Each structure stands twice: as structure tokens, then as C-alpha cells.
Amino acid sequence: MKKIFLLVLVILTSVFGVKANDLNNDLIELAKIYRNFMFRNSPNESTYEQLKEIKSSKLILTTKFIRETIRANNNLTKEEFLKLPDEQSMKFIYIIRRINWNIREENPKDNIELIAEISNKSIPRYELIDNYYDMLFSGVGNKNRPFDLSNVNFLMTKYELKDDTEKGIFFLKAMDLCGTSIWGYMNIVKPPNYKKAMEYIELFPKFNGQPYYQYLYFGFADFNMKIEKDKGEESYKSYYINKYYDTLLSHLACLSQKNKQEAARTDLILGSILKEENYYKYSKKKDILESLITTEDEAIDFTIADTPPITSDCNPNLSNVELKVCFVKSITNQVLSNFDSSLLQHQGLKSGTYRIYAVFTVNKKGKVKDVIAEFQNKVIAKEIVQAVKTIKKMTPAYLDGKPVSVNYTLPIKFKVN
């Protein structure tokens, strides 16, 4: 009897061991396929045959997801994939990504040991969700060219997202992809290519039927997790809300290039978290954000005022639109006439056209204050600040019949030969 019992035990142990090995081997195979085809490489028929060989019933949803992330012109923005899978499938997807990272290392761990290590750990749900949507939106960006989400409306109530934190993760991961699409045009190209960036911004998706910037639910409790592979844990909100603010400010800069976009610029500021000071602490550009709306001085954006500041050389009887044009022309002339242009030839700048943005406030008394200039060369930026400070006192802006402080961003264009 004991022999029979031991024999059954050995057989059961052997069976379960084989199943565990099959599951582990399938996870490794999926990770290798994901690694090979997650970017530009296109899978062929033999790849899809390999995927059909994944037999584990536990990996049905995981395999389907990996297949979609590597497929060109995929359906990852459909509800079928946007809806969160069960936590076990999310953990398998999490493991696959870690295996993918591991096999890229010069001296990788044994993958079976890595799977055992992760399987025995309790991974927080928020981290699993972050990983899932990071892989999903990477698949959207990598496999759908050209970028175009203009016809996508993310209905977040349909995706099994349990609370504002999970919805916030979804939104911030989606907007991370969108921000990446314009980052190069705003930060690599000199001067920034505002026209091209704006073309991409117009292709951003909607969320719950509204423009992306009208999503305002960032009051969820912050949490720490490892976001970048080679760094330690960090604040989730600090990392991603900072990046989201960069996208909003890029959008605002694009709208600032055209006088006819004043209404859109106002909508962006007042309809988004650009006006929410309690979130500024998460941004590395807090000074710029505070220059948009500063409650301490009751400063508002230039475009919101009923009447703009009026310089001494502008006729106060002009229309509001004409006054704004005159204001810009007048302060530009004052700044350029007081700017030491000889500095441009001695700062090692390459030949080309450059643009500097000077941000400042015209207070209730018509005086310029709080001047900030952003430029790659600190000497020139400092000279611009000094030139802006020479702008003469003017009649202040008015809103609802009362003088108000206004913030203004002055673009200054110059050439170096």
C-alpha cells in the first residue's frame, strides 16, 4: 500500500513539475518573441506558428496580448485590449517584460530562476497596471505608423479601472505616448518645429469624449515604484505629471506662435491643470507654470484680459485686437533696441535662426516684473532679461473694469551668420 501511495505521489509530482516547466518555457518563448518584434521588426508566418505552440491554458490572454503588441496596425486601442485582464494574466505579462529586460543584459540571470523569484513576490496591483498599459501604449506607438489617435475616444469607465488611481495611470501612460510623439520637435530641433508639433497634437485622442487636456483627476494618493529600469523607486506622480506638464506647455507654446489662437490658448490654460497650482510641485518647470496664473498678484494670462496693457506709442482708441498687436510690436521694438546684439557673435552659436522666450508680468501699475528667459546660452538669456526690464511703464491691462496683472510670453527671433 505504501509503495502504491509513493508511486502515485511520484507520478503527481512529475506531472505538476512538467506543467510548471511547460509554463515557464512558454513564458520565456513569449518574452523572446516580444523582444524580437516589439519595435520595427515584423513577425512572419513562422512567428505566428510559434505563438500557436503556446499550449498553457493559463497563458491564453497573455499570448493574445503579446501577439497584438508585435503586429503592425494592431487593435490595441480597441476595448478588448484596453480593458484590464485578470491579475494573474497581468502578472504573466509583467514577468515577460522582466525576462525581456534580462535577456538584454550582458550577464543575464537564469530565466527560470527569475520567473520563480517574481512568482513568489507580491507585485502591487498599481505596478501591474502600469506595466500592462506601458506595454500596450508602446505597442500602439511602435506598430501604428504614422501616429494618429484623432479618431480614438478612450471611455475609461469601460476598462475595469477600479478607482481614480487606476484611471490616472491609464491617462498618464496614454499621454506619455502622445508626449513622446512631439518631444523631438520641441526639444531636439533648434529652433523648435512648432508647426510639426501642432500637427501631432491635433492627432491626440479624446478621453471620455473630451479633449485630452480637460482630464483633471490627479488627486489620487501618490505611490512609489521603480519606473526606470536602472533607477530605484520614485514618486509616480512626480515622474509622470512632470512629463504631462511638459506636453501641456509644449501645446501652449505651439498656440502662442499665432495671434489667431488666443481663444484656444485661453481654453487650454483654463480647461487643464495648467491653472491647478496644487500640482505644480510635481513639475520641474514650476516657475513657468506660476507665470501663467499667479494668484498672489492676481496675475492672469495676457489673452484673458478684456483690454491688454497699452504702451505710450499705442493709440488707446484702437480696437482690442489692434491694441494687442500694437502691444506686441511696441515691446518687441523696445527689447530689441536695448539688446546688445554684438554678444551673438561671441557665444559659439552655430549659424542659423534662434528663438528665445521671455516670460514676464505687467503688474497692476503697468510695470514689468518677474522676468524669466529660457535659452541654451545663459549669457544671451541674461542679456534678454536685462533688455525686457527696460520696457517702459504702461497703462495696465483691465478685466471687468479693473486693472489686473497679466503674464506674457514674448518670442524673440534672431539670426546668427
Looking at the DSSP bridge assignments, the partners of residue 395 are 310
pLDDT bracket for residue 7 (50, 70, 90):
very low
Question: Is the pLDDT at 15 greater than 70, yes or no?
Answer: no
C-alpha grid cell for residue 118?
517574481
Residue labelled with grid coordinates 503586429: 71
Q: Are residues 104 and 178 in the same domain?
A: no
- Closest to 245 (Cα-Cα) out of 223, 278, 210: 278
Q: Looking at the 3D structure of the chain, how many domains does it have?
A: 3
Q: Are residues 321 and 364 in the same domain?
A: yes
In the prediction, which pLDDT does 210 show?
97
**What dihedral angle (degrees, nearest 10) is formed by the CA atoms of 55, 77, 158, 272?**
140
- Closest to 41 (Cα-Cα) out of 13, 64, 69, 4: 69
Buried b (16+ CB within 10 A) or exposed e, 121-152: eebeebbbbbbbbbbbbbbbbbbbeebebeeb
> Does residue 81 belong to any structural domain of this protein?
yes
In the prediction, which pLDDT does 256 show?
83
> Does residue 140 belong to any structural domain of this protein?
no
Asked whether the beta carbons of 360 and 370 are under 8 A apart, the reply is yes
- Closest to 113 (Cα-Cα) out of 124, 102, 122: 102
In the prediction, which pLDDT does 211 show?
97
In the prediction, which pLDDT does 308 show?
93
**Do you find a cis peptide bond into 191, omega within 30 degrees of 0?**
yes
Q: Are residues 23 and 99 in the same domain?
A: yes
Which tens digit of pLDDT belongs to each residue from 225-269?
999 878 899 999 999 999 999 999 999 999 988 766 778 888 899
Range scoring the smallest mean pLDDT among 79-83, 172-176, 371-375, 381-385: 371-375
Strands 206-207 vs 153-154: parallel, antiparallel or unpaired = parallel
Task: Tell me what percent of the residues of the chain surpass a pLDDT of 70.
Answer: 93
Sign of the Cα pseudo-torsion (236, 238, 239, 243, in order): positive
Buried b (16+ CB within 10 A) or exposed e, 207-239: beeeebbebeebebeeeeeebeeeeeeeebbbb
Q: What is the mean pLDDT of the chain?
A: 89
> How many CA atoms, within 13 angstroms, populate the side-chain half-sphere of residue 346?
5
Spatial separation of the C-alpha atoms in residues 32 and 103, rounded to whole Å: 8
Q: Are residues 154 and 252 in the same domain?
A: yes
The region, left, alpha or beta by phi > 0 then psi within -120 to 50, assigned to residue 63 is alpha
Q: Are residues 309 and 357 in the same domain?
A: yes
pLDDT bracket for residue 33 (50, 70, 90):
very high
Query: For residue 65, how many other CB atoms are within 10 A of its CB?
Result: 25
In the prediction, which pLDDT does 18 show?
42
Spatial separation of the C-alpha atoms in residues 385 and 359, rounded to whole Å: 9
Residue 384 maps to which CATH number?
3.30.1150
Spatial separation of the C-alpha atoms in residues 225 and 123, rounded to whole Å: 10
Domain boundary among 246, 273, 292: 292
Q: Are residues 94 and 17 in the same domain?
A: yes
C-alpha grid cell for residue 105?
543584459
Q: Are residues 29 and 100 in the same domain?
A: yes
Looking at the DSSP bridge assignments, the partners of residue 307 are 398
Which tens digit of pLDDT belongs to each residue from 357-368?
889 999 998 999
User: How large is the average pLDDT for residues 42-68?
Assistant: 94
Q: Are residues 322 and 268 in the same domain?
A: no
Which tens digit of pLDDT belongs to each residue from 277-299?
899 999 999 988 887 765 445 67
Range of the domain at 238: 146-292
Q: Are residues 263 and 288 in the same domain?
A: yes
Q: Are residues 4 and 21 in the same domain?
A: yes
pTM: 0.70
- Closest to 270 (Cα-Cα) out of 298, 245, 292: 292
Strands 210-211 vs 352-362: parallel, antiparallel or unpaired = unpaired
pLDDT bracket for residue 16 (50, 70, 90):
very low
- Closest to 289 (Cα-Cα) out of 389, 175, 180, 370: 370
Question: Is the pLDDT at 172 greater than 50, yes or no?
Answer: yes
Q: Are residues 274 and 302 in the same domain?
A: no
Question: Is the pLDDT at 214 greater than 70, yes or no?
Answer: yes
> Does residue 374 belong to any structural domain of this protein?
yes
Which tens digit of pLDDT belongs to each residue from 319-359?
888 999 999 999 999 999 998 888 777 777 778 788 888 89
Rg, the chain, Cα only: 28
**Do you find a cis peptide bond into 146, omega within 30 degrees of 0?**
yes
Question: Is the pLDDT at 395 greater than 60, yes or no?
Answer: yes
Question: Is the pLDDT at 13 greater than 50, yes or no?
Answer: no
User: How large is the average pLDDT for residues 68-95?
Assistant: 97
In the prediction, which pLDDT does 152 show?
98
Q: Are residues 358 and 307 in the same domain?
A: yes
